[in-house]
Amino acid sequence: MNPSAEGLRATFGDAIGRVVEARGETTVFVAAARLLDIMRWLQTAPDQLYNYLVDVTAVEYRDRERPLEVVYQLRSLSRRANLRVKVELDPRGELAVDSVTPLWAGANWLEREVYDMFGIVFAGHPDLRRILMWETYAEGHPLRKDFPLRGRFSRSEQVRQALNANPEANYSLEELSIAEAYGEIPSDMRDRLRRGERGDVGGVE
Amino acid sequence: MSAQHPRTIELEVATPGVDAQGRPVRVPVPAPAGLPAEPDLGGEHLLVNLGPQHPATHGVLRLVVELDGETVIRVIPHIGYLHSGFEKLGEYRHYNQIIPLTDRTDYLSPMANNVCLAMAVEQLMGITITPRCTVLRVIACEMSRIISHLVWLGTTSIDLGAFTPFLWAFQERERIYNLQEQWTGARLTTSLTRVGGMLADIPNGFVENLREFTRTFPKTLEEIDRVLTRNAVWAGRTQGIGVMTAEEAINYSLSGPMLRASGVPWDLRKDQPYLGYETYDFEVPVGEHGDVFDRYLVRLEECHQANRILAQALDRLPDGPINVDDPRVILPPKSRAMSDMEAMIYHFKQVMEGVKAPVGETYCGIENPKGELGYYFVSDGTAKPVRWRIRPPSFINLAAISKMAEGHLLSDLIAINASVDIVMGEIDR
């Protein structure tokens, strides 16, 4: 068995689930509750040193009964070793897992993309916003299997919303706060924001 | 938007002190009494919207920049304007039908993307490709590296005010594009590979033409080197700009020339060799300062090294078939499909059902011009993947732009953005 998987099992016991080895790649399933501890150990333990986060993504299977998986591809540059760590999330429960951004700054955008595409929430993420879709996007999370390939709204509805969106829809709340601090927000935009509107024009009537 | 991060906008009262990120919040200075109310810019502070339609952002990238005079306080990138949902589309396509999608992600190095996709599916299916195919794929990857770096060199020099290298670089790129057109019939959307082989063998005259290119290309590189490297303006605009230390580069998951310019000697071709790269004689340039200048030097030298690999690959190009002898993945010749019952059945099944991969998953990463391109496939045994994940190198490299640009001038932000070597087709996918 992969020495990292053995080390994980010796250190974290029950928090380590099954270990799959295939095609020269090792996948370790870990408990969501201990993810941050496990990742920190993998990153810093002297015989592990998985200092490079290659990728963070998620998988939803066509079989609705199977849990969603958050997939972390780790690499130790010094040991030239790869490890895949997975966390399973029950789609009927809360789709949430701890963010690894405190350990790897590179996880910031990757986790935002997983949140955007799958709706998985990363607790402790410094800036969890949609990244590829716009912030007022109302159709859901595109890479979920229940999301139709052409989107939930009709093309005409998508065009209507795009044309009717107010300018503030194109700015994040952080940017609007900066503009507000400099008194740069026009009064009509300020009125809409005060009413809690973000420039989105709502779903299908 | 997200209930986990309630960031309410403070209207009416601009809070003095620090914001949620611990950065100072500037309060607008009230207009003196008696004067007409004018928009107060809070000293010289400005919120500037750069892009999405701006030549210096290299595509539809939008940067919202907070400026103090000319100094960048923070950069907030907005991406997704070119989002096409390639990963979702891949779940509805056979493995070979995904190859045209890869052309359109990093469209400055389509052949290298094609190679990575074929390698990932072959890894999933346990297929070993033929020796000739291996060398042809190396040629495809290194041709891609040269054209991608030339586009980078040309556009970056234009961004920083040097027009001549742009013309020289694009002239050389045109020669590779002509070769690409000879080989695949397309200049941009090459779709060069197939699972288990290639679209086509190289045409007559290709080897001679490519050899002529490798013979004459270094001269152009030396001319660009002479015009830029010891040019005071170029050095002044690039040295010490956008520095990432080795630790930061690793922590931000940078890859490719961005990682190596910061002094991390990591190249998948050397450290986790594929396609027999361990048998080629080439060097991996590594920078030491991690600034824009070092990224330029690394890419320039990578062009030289790619050229060396091309010459070696041409020397050793073996004869033999380009496709594996496996009727599960490779179509039988048309003549046999029309005359032989078994061949016809294989032909029918492949066209109608596609290539089926066994249950499982695999990650295959290769050293693309922009960094580590990885394809992660999850298969449930059917001909269409459950999940096709692209590990996009320029998406991950771009994520560090805020870190690199803070404290520099706005004009340096242009240099930093150029040095990342982004391509929006890949970032937005």
Assess contact for A200 and A192: CB atoms under 8 A.
no
Kindly list the strands in the beta sheet with B71-78, ordered across the sheet, starting from the edge strand earlier in the chain: B45-50, B62-68, B71-78
Between the CA of residue A123 and those of A12, A117, A127, B178, what are the distances in Å? Answer: 21, 16, 10, 51
| CA–CA separation, A136 and A130 (whole Å) | 9
Q: Which of A54, A127, A177 sits opposite B9 (nearest CB)?
A: A177
**What's the mean pLDDT in B260-267?**
91
Pairing assessment for the beta strands B193-194 and B71-78 based on DSSP bridges? unpaired
pLDDT tens-place string over residues B267-277? 999 899 999 99
Whether residue B44 is predicted with pLDDT greater than 80 in this model: the reply is: no
Two tokens at B97?
Answer: 């039908």
3-state DSSP percent of chain A in helix, strand and coil, to 5: 35, 20, 45
Rounded (5°) CA angle B97-B99-B101: 90
Residue from A26, A52, A122, A130 to probe the interface with B (highest B Cβ count within 10 Å): A52
Q: Scanning the structure block, which residue is given the tokens 């000697």? A: B265
The predicted structure's pLDDT at residue B3: 37
pTM of the model: 0.85
Q: Which of B19, B21, B87 sits opposite A143 (nearest CB)?
A: B87
Say how many Å lie between the first and final Cα of chain A, rounded. Answer: 57
Nearest chain B residue (CA) to A61: B386
Residue from A18, A20, A21, A23 to probe the interface with B (highest B Cβ count within 10 Å): A23
pLDDT tens-place string over residues B55-64? 777 888 999 8
Whether residue A56 is predicted with pLDDT greater than 90 in this model: the reply is: yes
How many angstroms separate the CA of residue A33 from the nearest CA in chain B? Answer: 18
Whether residue B41 is predicted with pLDDT greater than 60 in this model: the reply is: no
pLDDT category at B42 given cuts 50, 70, 90 is: very low
The predicted structure's pLDDT at residue B179: 93
Between the CA of residue A104 and those of A39, A72, B37, B229, what are the distances in Å? Answer: 10, 12, 47, 34
The predicted structure's pLDDT at residue B9: 40
Assess contact for B47 and B64: CB atoms under 8 A.
yes
Can you say how many angstroms the Cα of residue A84 is from the centroid of all Cα atoms in its chain? 17
Contact flag A149-B88 (C-beta cutoff 8 Å): yes
Contact flag B374-A173 (C-beta cutoff 8 Å): no
Q: Exposed (0-12), middle (13-18) or buried (19+): which is B90, by Cβ within 10 Å?
A: buried
Q: Is B286 helix (H, G, I), strand (E, B) or coil?
A: coil
Burial B266-287 (b: 16+ CB within 10 A, else e): bbbbeebebbebeebebebbbb
- Please name the residues in contact with B66: beta carbons below 8 A apart, sequence gap of 6 or more: A178, B45, B46, B47, B48, B72, B73, B74, B75, B76
How many angstroms separate the CA of residue A180 from the nearest CA in chain B? Answer: 7
Q: Which residues of B touch A171 (CB under 8 A)?
A: 64
The predicted structure's pLDDT at residue B6: 38
The predicted structure's pLDDT at residue B12: 38
| CA–CA separation, B149 and B131 (whole Å) | 27
Which of B65, B38, B114, B162 minimizes the C-alpha distance to B275? B114
How many angstroms separate the CA of residue A39 from the nearest CA in chain B? Answer: 14
Contact flag B40-A23 (C-beta cutoff 8 Å): no
In this structure, the number of other CB atoms found within 10 A of the CB of residue B3 comes to 6
Whether residue A91 is predicted with pLDDT greater than 90 in this model: the reply is: no
Whether residue B10 is predicted with pLDDT greater than 60 in this model: the reply is: no
Q: Which of B83, B378, B399 sits opposite A132 (nearest CB)?
A: B83
How many angstroms separate the CA of residue B14 from the nearest CA in chain A? Answer: 5
* pLDDT greater at residue B422 or residue B4: B422
Contact flag B64-A175 (C-beta cutoff 8 Å): yes
Contact flag B47-A77 (C-beta cutoff 8 Å): no
Whether residue B343 is predicted with pLDDT greater than 80 in this model: the reply is: yes
**What's the mean pLDDT in A149-153?**
88
Contact flag B374-A73 (C-beta cutoff 8 Å): yes
How does the average pLDDT of chain B come out, rounded? 86
How many angstroms separate the CA of residue A85 from the nearest CA in chain B? Answer: 13
**What's the mean pLDDT in A82-86?**
93
| CA–CA separation, B63 and B56 (whole Å) | 11
Q: Which residues of B touch A115 (CB under 8 A)?
A: 2
Assess contact for B119 and B269: CB atoms under 8 A.
no
- In this structure, whether the domain defined by A1-132 belongs to CATH 3.30.1330.30 is answered with no
Whether residue B13 is predicted with pLDDT greater than 50 in this model: the reply is: no
pLDDT tens-place string over residues B239-262? 888 889 999 999 999 999 999 999
The predicted structure's pLDDT at residue B326: 86
Residue from A128, A132, A149 to probe the interface with B (highest B Cβ count within 10 Å): A132
DSSP string, B202-218: PPTTHHHHHHHHHHHHH
How many angstroms separate the CA of residue B176 from the nearest CA in chain A? Answer: 31
Contact flag B42-A127 (C-beta cutoff 8 Å): no
Contact flag B9-A176 (C-beta cutoff 8 Å): yes
Two tokens at A144?
Answer: 């979920």
Whether residue A204 is predicted with pLDDT greater than 80 in this model: the reply is: no
The predicted structure's pLDDT at residue B21: 61
- Please name the residues in contact with B358: beta carbons below 8 A apart, sequence gap of 6 or more: B124, B125, B126, B379, B381
| CA–CA separation, B94 and B88 (whole Å) | 13
**What's the mean pLDDT in B88-107?**
92
Q: Which residues of A touch B121 (CB under 8 A)?
A: none
**What's the mean pLDDT in A50-78?**
92
Two tokens at B41?
Answer: 């810019």
Whether residue B379 is predicted with pLDDT greater than 90 in this model: the reply is: yes
pLDDT category at B43 given cuts 50, 70, 90 is: low
- Please name the residues in contact with B80: beta carbons below 8 A apart, sequence gap of 6 or more: A131, A132, A133, A134, B428
Please give the biggest Cα pair distance in chain A: 65
Residues forming CATH 3.30.460.80 domain(s) in chain A? 1-132
Amino acid at A137: Y
The residue extents of the domains of chain B are 86-428
The predicted structure's pLDDT at residue B33: 56
Two tokens at A120?
Answer: 């998985």
Whether residue B18 is predicted with pLDDT greater than 60 in this model: the reply is: no
Whether residue B409 is predicted with pLDDT greater than 60 in this model: the reply is: yes
Q: Which of A60, A106, A135 sits opposite B1 (nearest CB)?
A: A135
| CA–CA separation, A51 and A45 (whole Å) | 10
Percent of chain B at pLDDT exceeding 90: 54
Backbone angles phi and psi of B111, in degrees to 5: -65, -35
pLDDT category at B49 given cuts 50, 70, 90 is: confident
Residue from B8, B10, B11 to probe the interface with A (highest A Cβ count within 10 Å): B11
Two tokens at A48?
Answer: 């592990």
pLDDT category at B23 given cuts 50, 70, 90 is: low
The sign one gets for the Cα dihedral A43, A48, A51, A52 is negative
Identify which of A167-171, B33-37, B404-408 has the greatest average pLDDT.
B404-408
Say how many Å lie between the first and final Cα of chain B, rounded. Answer: 23
Contact flag B92-A107 (C-beta cutoff 8 Å): no
Q: Is A71 helix (H, G, I), strand (E, B) or coil?
A: strand
Q: Which residues of B touch A131 (CB under 8 A)?
A: 79-80
Whether residue B29 is predicted with pLDDT greater than 80 in this model: the reply is: no
How many angstroms separate the CA of residue B102 from the nearest CA in chain A? Answer: 18
Q: Any bridge partners for residue A83, and if so which?
A: A74
Domain with residues B86-428, CATH architecture: Orthogonal Bundle (1.10)
